[in-house]
Structure 1
């Protein structure tokens, strides 16, 4: 067999390697031809077996020393390939793996949502606590404000009452003198002429207007003559034995008393009747006896 026939036998091997790397196979064939020329390799002397997994990128491992005739065939095994970068083989994803990935992703999202929900609940609790505190503070301030308004109104009313009482007390002596003048003029009205009568009527009108003005301010006279003696309203200056009035009743008013609402501005100075026909004690304190 000549060299051309040996090359033809190797051509199928070379063509199978073209799909992997054409350039490496061409180089390998050229080197193989040169070796055959140097070693005179024939089919009777050498049998070459190429194992599966042969690396055609490293053809040097394929060359062996010539063997004598009748020797056992030499099997050329590829040398351990040099470490190369790992080639990632894309495999078809498994449906189970996809389901597991989806489950893991859903579980992760559920965990995130639970954390978010917990944070929202914590914020809600914090806001509810702040709302309760604000409501409590608002109610307390509202109560304080209402109490302040009531106290302010009470103080204003008390101040107005005090001012009214202070003003009226200054006019009471003037009113007392006016009434004394009327009492004296009443005794002289018959002795004087009609001109004095007109003057007396004018003084009476002034007295009535004065009392009406006091009434509009809330100042009222304290009833005295004919009423039972009341130490809270009356001040007894004398006792008079008489059968005209019942025992312990006011028989004469010496000085008119006045009150402003429930406040006594001035007690009425009175004389209290002592009736011997009714000696029984009604439980009230006896007035002072200033009679001679």
Structure 2
């Protein structure tokens, strides 16, 4: 159970207890008033004091709960605002390497070195995304599955039987267990 759930249950219990105490005190006060003919004023004063204390406890519990709710809403907003911060930090070295490759290729016009550098940077980017749970969807040669593939065309094929992906037009990806983008494919018909 999370700390938030525990706190919510605690706050609910405190509020319920305060309300119950207040209800009991009010019922006792009403019962006592009905039974008393005026010569037991200290008892009425005591019951009124207990009712007031229960009311104050209830109000404090309500204020604590409201403060907790505001604080958790603020934390949620901050979490959503900065959720991608970790990934961006991991991608900054890739950006740095791209900048270095562009600067180096402009200085000496060595396009073979540029191609090798871009390939190395692509592998670095792929490793970073793989570490975050991004996986390509296998498509060619697989049976067409609308959960993972988006068919854009049906083609005749001697190599594949009907309903099998023949060509991948755009690679699809999964983020952990969820399809991030389906593969755009051509399917044998």
| TM superposition score category, shorter chain reference | 0.3 to 0.5
Structure number with bigger Rg = 1
Between the two structures, name the one with larger relative contact order (CA 8 Å, sep ≥ 6).
2
User: What TM-score do the two structures reach when normalised by structure 1?
Assistant: 0.29
User: What TM-score do the two structures reach when normalised by structure 2?
Assistant: 0.43
